[in-house]
């Protein structure tokens, strides 16, 4: 899977998203301009020591991204979509794009890709969810649809034996 952030502005969100990408084996694609430098401490703090393991690619603009991924299936997460993210079928090689925190994906991009626009349902009195939360919601649905391929699905409790001595 691939997560695409179109001009992200807040380093903590991108750091959190990077950590989620590492945990899920997902590639992260950043379309410039970014609202921060990749070396910022807030980005590193949010991404913790996972950032060094992240498969991340930067693009100078949206056109550069498209040229490097011709024919790619790109889902566009937006509050302006008519379709819910649970109503589409995600493939393991799909790209899921999210826009910058203050404005989302530019309308001219959305208009050209309306059939691939998806939304997360929410109340009408809020503009949007937090970007890193939105990425996690949609990404985990896409992974669920693909049986969490490549991910560990079971954990194990380490049972401690406590002795009640009286």
In contact, 122 and 31? CB cutoff 8 Å: no
128 is in an annotated binding site: yes
99 is in an annotated binding site: yes
123 is in an annotated binding site: no
Sign of CA dihedral 105, 9, 133, 92: positive
Strand order in the sheet with 2-6: 56-59, 27-31, 2-6, 95-98, 74-77, 117-119, 83-84
Residue 125 token pair = 């009195």
Spatial CA neighbour of 4 closest among 108, 75, 103, 110: 75
- Work out the number of other CB atoms within 10 angstroms of the CB of residue 65: 22
CA–CA dist 134, 5 (Å, integer): 12
Binding-site positions for S-adenosyl-L-methionine read 99, 120, 128
């Amino acid at each position: 899977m691939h997560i695409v952030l179109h001009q992200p502005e807040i380093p903590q969100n991108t750091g959190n998203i990077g950590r989620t990408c590492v945990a899920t084996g997902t590639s992260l694609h950043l379309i410039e301009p970014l609202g921060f430098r990749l070396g910022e401490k807030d980005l590193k703090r949010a991404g913790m020591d996972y950032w060094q393991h992240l498969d991340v690619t930067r693009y100078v603009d949206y056109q550069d991204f498209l040229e490097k991924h011709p024919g790619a299936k790109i889902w566009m997460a937006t509050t302006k979509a008519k379709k819910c993210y649970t109503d589409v079928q995600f493939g393991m090689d799909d790209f899921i794009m999210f826009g910058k925190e203050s404005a989302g994906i530019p309308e001219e991009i959305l208009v050209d890709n309306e059939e691939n626009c998806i939304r997360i349902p929410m109340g009408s009195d809020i503009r949007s969810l937090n970007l890193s939360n939105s990425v996690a919601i949609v990404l985990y649905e896409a992974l669920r649809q693909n049986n969490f391929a490549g991910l560990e699905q079971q954990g194990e409790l380490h049972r401690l034996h406590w002795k009640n001595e009286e």
